Amino acid sequence: GEDVEQSLFLSVREGDSSVINCTYTDSSSTYLYWYKQEPGAGLQLLTYIFSNMDMKQDQRLTVLLNKKDKHLSLRIADTQTGDSAIYFCAEIWGTPLVFGKGTRLSVIA
């Protein structure tokens, strides 16, 4: 079946860039997503990329997709303490969404 892998923890200093990586196995994925979960809150869709795109930029967020290597990354520029959360990578071909275990981002002031 499909599998999505992420590293579990990332720690960065405030103001630095954060890069969260994700690999997936399903070459048929059509959409790939990044969700953010803050403590006690639900899953917030940060951004998504269609599988025929290589890159998508949205303010401080840059998503890079290497379809050949099945690798997705999320770069957060100028990371702030408010960016501390768990970030989930997810992919979809038909339904349903397949999620990774999430990367806990800690931002050190």
Partner 1 sequence: EAGVTQFPSHSVIEKGQTVTLRCDPISGHDNLYWYRRVMGKEIKFLLHFVKESKQDESGMPNNRFLAERTGGTYSTLKVQPAELEDSGVYFCASSQSRSGYTFGSGTRLTVV
Please report how close the Cβ of residue 17 comes to partner 1 at its closest, in angstroms: 26
Verify binding: residue 101, partner 1, rule CB under 8 A: yes
- The window from 9-17, 18-26, 43-51, 61-69 that contacts partner 1 (CB under 8 A) reads 43-51
**102 dihedral zone (left: phi>0; alpha: psi -120 to 50; beta):** left
Verify binding: residue 41, partner 1, rule CB under 8 A: yes
Nearest to 10 by CA among 20, 2, 22, 25: 20
Verify binding: residue 39, partner 1, rule CB under 8 A: no
Q: How crowded is the C-beta side of 44, counted as CA atoms within 13 Å? A: 10
Please report how close the Cβ of residue 2 comes to partner 1 at its closest, in angstroms: 10
